[in-house]
Every structure is written in structure tokens, then in C-alpha cells.
Amino acid sequence: MAIALQVLRHFARAPSRPLLWGCPLTRLASGMALEEQARQIFESTVGAMLPGPMLQRALSLDPDSGQLKVRDRSFQLRQNLYLVGFGKAVLGMAAAAEELLGQHLVQGVISVPRGIRAAMEHAGKQEMLLKPHSRVQVFEGAEDNLPDRDALRAALAIRQLAEGLTADDLLLVLISGGGSALLPAPIPPVTLEEKQKLTKLLAARGANIQELNTIRKALSQLKGGGLAQAAYPAQVVSLILSDVVGDPVEVIASGPTVASVHSVQDCLHILNRYGLRAALPRSVKTVLARADSDPHGPHACGHVLNVIIGSNALALAEAQKQAEALGYKAVVLSTAIQGDVKNVAQFYGLLARVAGACLTMPAAGTSVEEDKQLYELAAQLQLPDLQLKEALEAVVGAQGPVCLLAGGEPTVQLQGSGKGGRNQELALRVGVELGQWPLEPIDVLFLSGGTDGQDGPTEAAGAWVRPELARQAVAEGLDVAAFLAHNDSYTFFCRFQGGAHLLHTGLTGTNVMDTHLLFLRPR
């Protein structure tokens, strides 16, 4: 930290440099309002992560030769292409894939959330819907993101298609967030209810997501590389839309096309740790014993090409490009924002204070105490890819408007029964934090939005705030602290200035977690 502070002080003393990037400051002053710019950047970011653009970037088909190119690999299509998929964004992905691949596609099966087709029709998003005579069969299930009998039927249909393939076939697998609940197929004699009960018991005793996934994979026909195994000897291309921090392909939808690295002993160790081994159903003991005696060991997935086609990192890269086109010095802070929303809000509030001082008073800068506090907050959040020092160095040399970008998925500790989502609560808390600092003479705006267009059980994707929020809320008779105490951020934003601060996009058909935008613009 001391080295970082010394570097910043060095930059603060450096002679000023001309503005060489982006658009001239006058364009910003006379162009769109800051709120409009924030919305435009967010919407263009989501647009770049929609199924059509993503698949067009990932796939290219030569109509004359029938050669399908995926990154640097080529596959020959000759009535040998099959498709399966599972996840919240897979309906639109399948529609885009069928549009691109046309008559080469022989058959497909996808598992999507209940009601997704009706929601897309209601929203007028025809591009997210399969054509009337599509070769892709659609199953809807996993209501409220919980595995159910309908999702099980879909998983068994996907397995049946995969097991019928030959060495001459190519299986295109489409995966997005929510895929795990949409692909439940326990290994017999384990039942869906037994697997769900064990998962709930582990979660109630404090098992983390990695431990839960280890057990799920061991009891699943298709997860942990099971789908890839079922499709062998066919070639498998898996196109993945990541909604997980760091994009670990073995975690997204529990890695159906990625060989599991966990053994039966790993499972037993987890079950022992939480005191559940003795109480296991006989069916679970049977499956684990059978796997333990398998002479072949874990199955390889050498016939699989896994490709991340959409992620938070790719979304932020698009946001950075759009911000720069509007004249901002744009810097990506992190794609792995996690932790309690209260701590994240404090970090963004202090970041605005420190970065604002670096931008408007580079010779003086902020106090050593504020710098120290910011780095301590960052250390508490434990963000593996945080580029804080680099971002502040860029701000010092900017001499113009700045946009700091980040993404991830903070968490909210529910204390009340209000209506809201993590993006709206984060925005509201950041608004309070911004109001505690004298930020003159710069305009500041913070926006937090979910790329799926739905923040919690609300119709908003998120919200945006300015430092004046707390003062303006008091003038309208709104008690911000009371709304936060009840996790009622959506109700607050609906009432505050007639709902003008809510971010409405409708369901987008994609999901690469959340996007956070912090704008600092000298007046």
C-alpha cells in the first residue's frame, strides 16, 4: 500500500499532460446529460452480451463448404449437428444458433425456466424465440430456480439425445446461469427428492458452494463431465455464458462438459465434516460405493471444446469502449466485486472521494488517512483482480471526465420483508455514502444494474444515484435509513422523484452478473 501511495504522489507532482483520448470536454458539456450517458453505456453493454451478437462472435459458418469455425477450430457439417442447452438465457441462444446454422441442425433439446417463452413474447423480443417449425424441442421447468420433475424430464431427454450420437456427429451445448437447476438427473437409485434433501441439509449446516457442487456432481448423471461422457465419441462444442465470478467452467451449471477433479473421498470428507455420513440414504451410499470401485476412474473430456462466449469481463470491456467513445477516461476496476453490499457501498463512496480529489486537485490529493482507509476497505473485500492503484493513477493523469467500471455479484443480508434487489440496495447505500463527502467541484453519478434486466423480485434492473439523494429524500419525506433497514430499496426508488432513478430494461435474455459504473465529471 505504501508503494501505491508513493506512486500516486509522484503522479500528482508530475506536469500536466494534454488530453489525448476520447472526445473533447466541450462535447460532454453540451451533449447528453450524465444520466443519459450512464443509461446508454449500460444498455450498450447488455446489448453486446445478447445471444445473437455473442454467437456471431463465437461461430462462423462457410455456407459453401459447410465448415463451422469455433475460435481456432474447424468442424465439418454434413447433417450431423445436434444441439442441447440449459439455462436462463438458453432460449435466445438456441434461437440465434438455429438462425445461424440453419438446415445443418438435425435436432435439439433445451431446458429453460418456466414461463420464459411467454415473458419474451409479452416483451416483444421475437429474436429470443424459436421459429414455429423449429427442430429444437423446448422443456420449461425449475420454477423459482429449483429442480423439479419437469426439469428432470428435460435432463433425461438431453441425455437420450447425447447417448444416441456417433463419432461422426457434433454436439453443440449451450450453457448459461441457472443451468444447474435445469439439468437435474440423479444417478439411480438416488431420487430427485433425496438429492435435494441432502443438498439442503448441507447448506443448512454451513457448506459452501464448492462443497455443495462436489456432492451434486458425484450424484448426477450429467454434471461434472457427465454430459460429455454421454455424448462420447461425438465431438462436443460447449458455448458458455458465464454468471460466475472468475468464469470457472467447472462451476458454471456444475460443469456438465468439464471432467470433475473430485473423488469419492472428497465427498466423504465433506459429509463427515458436517456430520451427515451416518445419516445418508441407502441410495446415496450405493452410488458413492459404486463410483469408488470404478476401475476406470474419472472420465476425460478430450473430445470437448469449452468456450466462454459471454462474461462480466467481456461486458465491462464493451462498457469501457462505449464510455471512451463518449469522452471519458474509462478504467476497469474489477470483474469480481463480492461481499456484503454495505462494505461494497462504503468502498465506492470512499473511492469517489479519493478519485474525485485526484481528478480535481492532483497537486494536493487526498489525505494519507483517506488513502489508507480506501486500501483497507479494498483488502477487506478480498477482490482477486482489483486494479485500484492503476485506476487512481489513471485518474490523476486524466484531466477530464472519468468512468470507473466494475462488476460482480455483491450479497445482501436480509433483515426485513421489503421489496428490492442487490443492485437497487447497493445504489441506495452508495447514494447515502456519497452524501457524506464534500465532492465539489465535480458531478458524480453511480449506477448499478443487473444484466439480466431483473433485480431481485422487481421489474427494475437496478438504479442510479447522485450525492444529493439523501438531502432530496428528506425533502420528499422519505426516511432512507428506514427503507434500508427493511431491505425495501425498490419501494424507495418508486417513490423517490416519481421513480426517475430506476433502471428499466425489461428481461434482456442474457445474464453476466452486475455492472457498476462510477462517473466523475469536472464542472
Q: Which of 193, 220, 211 is nearest to 272 (CA)?
A: 211
- Report d(CA 334, CA 331) in Å as an integer: 9
Cβ-based neighbour number of residue 302 at 10 Å:
8
Q: Which of 4, 79, 1, 28 is nearest to 393 (CA)?
A: 4
CB burial of 457-486 (b: ≥16 within 10 Å; e: otherwise) equals ebebbbbbbbbebbeebeeeebebeebbeb
Cβ-based neighbour number of residue 339 at 10 Å:
17
pLDDT score recorded for residue 445: 97
Structural domains of the chain, with CATH: 4-30+312-522 (3.40.1480.10), 51-185+220-261+298-310 (3.40.50.10180)
Sheet order of strands, 170-175 included:
136-141, 105-113, 81-86, 170-175, 235-241, 304-310
Contacts of 255 (CB under 8 A, 6+ apart): 217, 223, 224, 225, 249
The pair phi, psi for residue 490, each rounded to 5°, is -65, -45
pLDDT score recorded for residue 54: 95
440's grid cell: 465539489
Q: Output Rg (C-alpha) for the chain, integer angstroms.
A: 25
pLDDT score recorded for residue 291: 84
Amino acid at 218: A
Whole-structure pTM value = 0.88
- Report d(CA 510, CA 175) in Å as an integer: 11
Q: Which of 205, 258, 265, 204 is nearest to 228 (CA)?
A: 258
Those residues of the chain that have pLDDT short of 50 are: 1-30, 296-297
SS (H, E, C) 106-156: EEEEEEEECCHHHHHHHCCCHHHCCCCCCCEEEEEECHHHCCCHHHHHHHH
CB-based burial label for 523 (10 Å; 0-12, 13-18, 19+)? exposed
pLDDT score recorded for residue 212: 86
Q: Which of 313, 310, 516, 337 is nearest to 409 (CA)?
A: 337
